[in-house]
């Protein structure tokens, strides 16, 4: 087809088996009026060879001469896409067959001039599956607070993930992903696009994708470093509310610092959260738990909750 209505954009590098799973899930959509644009981020003969086993004419491969990083690889995919709508898919995730069909239906019925349509998804771990997010944005809730202001010690409360995104191509052209970021690429985009007039987030209220967690495989994004993450957060301070600023520090940054065993970060991060942001009781509790509750105990607690609770959470919000 010469002008696909939907372009699935999949950036990848050096992960052929995972990529083939993702590509097949995109080509297997019940919404057939689409193309799949695979952006190979730099020289990668193994990936190019692996894709040759797929004979579907809707598959297009854009092999970049040098690596540009995830953000710019997505931007390149958008620029070369032919569809009016863009759906991103990370190479280590997969879509369920009706994802695009159901997102398109919600997009066309949306009251927002520029809808961003997400969906629930299966968070797949070696132990079991979970349906995330456990809640969607509340009416009038700033997107930054939905993402950063937590009220639970467990993962999955509020989630937006790149493989869920579905929006008009024009929106991604007007607000491209920021180049040069090794981490927080999608989060950075959410903060900036939330400032655009007419943009609103919609959810398809059923799981339509699979996000694989806790698997031992190489990561494409850079290793976490709380200093770099703090520098990024400060650069986006005007795009966050004070509560969201504190929430990001007491969850994401604290977790990174603890993972690095950097106790020198304890007071600087706490000071930043209290005096630059707007602290709230749960944020302080969560911050202290990350530093002082052993990770082994947190894992046991998580396992206990898994054993007594229904893994597939009934989302009612």
Please name each of the domains of the chain with its CATH number.
Answer: 6-212 (3.90.550.10), 226-308 (no CATH)
* Cα atoms found within 13 Å of the Cα of residue 167, Cβ hemisphere only: 27
| Apex 44 CA angle, 14 and 68, nearest 5 | 85
Report the SS3 class of residue 24: helix
Q: Are 25 and 95 in contact (CB under 8 A)?
A: yes
Q: Are 170 and 83 in contact (CB under 8 A)?
A: no
* DSSP state at residue 177: P
Q: Are 179 and 72 in contact (CB under 8 A)?
A: yes
Q: Which residues contact 31 (CB under 8 A, 6 or more apart)?
A: 6, 98, 100, 101, 104
Please tell me whether the peptide bond between 164 and the residue prior to it is cis, using omega within 30 degrees of 0.
Answer: no
Kindly report the pTM of this predicted structure: 0.90
224 or 36: whose pLDDT is higher? 36
Mean pLDDT, to the nearest integer, of 166-188? 96
How far apart are the C-alpha atoms of 317 and 131, rounded to whole Å? 13
Q: What is the pLDDT of residues 60-71, one digit of tens each?
A: 999 999 999 999
pLDDT averaged over the chain?
91
Q: What is the pLDDT of residues 98-153, one digit of tens each?
A: 999 999 999 999 999 999 999 999 999 888 899 999 999 999 999 999 999 998 87
CA torsion through residues 57, 59, 63, 64, sign? positive
pLDDT at 244 over 90: yes
User: Maximum Cα–Cα distance for the chain, whole Å?
Assistant: 58
Q: Are 235 and 266 in contact (CB under 8 A)?
A: no
Q: How far is CA 253 from CA 144, 179, 190, in A?
A: 15, 21, 18
Task: Report residue 208 CA to chain centroid gap.
Answer: 14
- β-strand 114-124 against 129-132: which pairing, if any? antiparallel
Q: What is the pLDDT of residues 178-237, one digit of tens each?
A: 998 989 999 999 999 999 999 999 999 999 999 998 655 555 554 569 999 999 999 999
């Amino acid at each position: 087809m010469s002008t696909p209505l939907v372009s699935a954009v999949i950036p990848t590098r050096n992960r052929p088996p995972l990529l083939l799973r993702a590509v097949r899930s995109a080509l297997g959509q019940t919404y057939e009026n689409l193309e799949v644009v695979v952006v190979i981020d730099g020289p990668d003969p193994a990936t190019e060879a692996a894709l040759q086993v797929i004979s579907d004419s809707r598959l297009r491969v854009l092999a970049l001469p040098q690596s540009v990083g995830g953000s710019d690889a997505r931007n390149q995919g958008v620029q070369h896409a032919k569809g009016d709508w863009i759906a991103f898919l990370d190479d280590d995730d997969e879509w369920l067959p009706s994802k695009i069909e159901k997102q398109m239906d919600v997009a066309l019925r949306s009251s927002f001039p520029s809808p961003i349509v997400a969906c629930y998804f299966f968070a797949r771990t070696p132990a079991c599956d979970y349906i995330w997010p456990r809640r969607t944005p509340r009416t009038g809730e700033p997107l930054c607070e939905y993402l950063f202001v937590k009220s639970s010690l467990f993962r999955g409360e509020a989630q937006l993930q790149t493989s869920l995104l579905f929006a008009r191509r024009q929106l991604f052209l007007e607000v491209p992903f920021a180049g040069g970021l090794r981490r927080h690429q999608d989060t950075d985009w959410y903060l900036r696009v939330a400032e655009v007039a007419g943009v609103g987030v919609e959810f398809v209220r059923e799981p339509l994708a699979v996000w694989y967690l806790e698997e031992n495989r190489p990561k494409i994004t850079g290793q976490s470093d709380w200093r770099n993450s703090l520098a990024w957060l400060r650069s986006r301070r005007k795009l966050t509310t004070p509560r969201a600023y504190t929430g990001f520090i007491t969850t994401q940054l604290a977790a990174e610092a603890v993972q690095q065993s950097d106790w020198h970060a304890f007071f600087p991060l706490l000071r930043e959260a209290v005096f630059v942001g707007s602290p709230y009781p749960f944020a302080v509790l969560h911050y202290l738990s990350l530093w002082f509750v052993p990770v082994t105990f947190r894992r046991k607690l998580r396992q206990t909750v898994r054993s007594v609770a229904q893994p597939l959470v009934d989302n009612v919000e």
